[in-house]
Amino acid sequence: MLSEAQKEHEMVSEESGGGGEGGRGCGRSCLSKCCLRQGAKLLLYCFSKIDEDLCLPVPKVQPRVSFLDRLLEEWDDRKVRGLFHHDIAACETKVLPGKHNFIIVLIEGRDLKKRPTEFRIDEVLQPFDGDKFNFTKIGQEELIFRFEESSNGKAGYFQSAPIMSSSSPNIIAINVSPIAHGHVLLIPRILDFLPQRIDCQSFLLAMYMVKAARNPYFRMGYNSLGAFATINHLHFQGYYLEVKFPVEKAPTQIIATVGSGVNVAELLEYPVRGLVFEGGKNMLDLSDTVSSACIFLQESNRPFNVLFSECGKRIFLLLQMFSAMP
């Protein structure tokens, strides 16, 4: 929930400008306590929890500048500033022939420029290590906005809202090595220094973000350690791609329905084993069911990926083997 000081700020219109004002702190305008809690004022997006029924249709009349529009606008601004390691729009993209029509993108040198892996690749759960790279060490120029629950049920923006000394904000930042347009990171409670480990609260936050986009071409994802995650600091991926993914087109067969009404199906005729979750009375039911499955896998040392599809109505849980990363 927002603090009283944040509630007092005037809600700005969807059209107003973004950006943030660096605080004092260490002088690097980073995302650590030294700068975030020393006067930093950052653009804040407040999401609504009222419309949490995933069965509700998307309103025909949308705000002139929606959450996704604003996110992509801010992302494009960071591109103009030259903050990315490569121009994803200039990278060659192909749809492979065959049954699944997998999508490939040629990003030359990405393996050399991206942040290195600094942990074991054979353990899904590992403790957070503040001496290694984590997202508090990135600059505030990489931040797009904070993402917090609205106090009055209305979605919108606060312009340059201050961060209270006791808070640990949820951060949306660019991925400096993008694989698609609008590739961003959702970093829950950044100052709690959470390792890359699913918990029910953070999983639900990712559900709210993909729902806020109200566009099926914007997906969220999660990679566990050992399944292509390269930073041991809790984060989800988000990106925009106007094409249906092969896994979204794969046939499925329902194998169970849990007490809350969530249907669990298995992927059929697909090269990776996986489960598909959908239904339930509301978004919380679906989120709790999938996050519980993720928690079971990570505690069993089984690496996995998650894909949040169709604005959060379908969640794919893909089982992996430990990846051989450099």
Which sequence positions are flagged as catalytic?
A: 235
Q: Give the residue among 206, 269, 262 at the shortest CA–CA distance from 235.
A: 206
Enumerate long-range contacts of 262-268, CB under 8 Å, 24 or more apart. Answer: 262/286, 262/289, 264/289, 267/316
Q: Give the residue among 71, 123, 138, 100 at the shortest CA–CA distance from 246.
A: 100
Q: Any idea what DSSP says for residue 166?
A: T
Residue 306 three-state SS: strand
- C-alpha 238/C-alpha 265 separation (Å) is 24
Show the 3-state SS of 239-290: EECCCCCHHHHCCEEEEEECCCCEEEEEECCCCCCEEEEEECCCHHHHHHHH
- C-alpha 68/C-alpha 85 separation (Å) is 23
Distances (CA, A) of 319 to 32, 250, 324, 325: 34, 15, 15, 17
Residue 177 three-state SS: coil
Provide the CB-side half-sphere exposure for 56 (13 A, CA): 11
318: part of which helix (H) or strand (E)? strand 314-319
- C-alpha 141/C-alpha 133 separation (Å) is 17
Q: Give the residue among 13, 63, 52, 50 at the shortest CA–CA distance from 152.
A: 50
- C-alpha 17/C-alpha 74 separation (Å) is 9
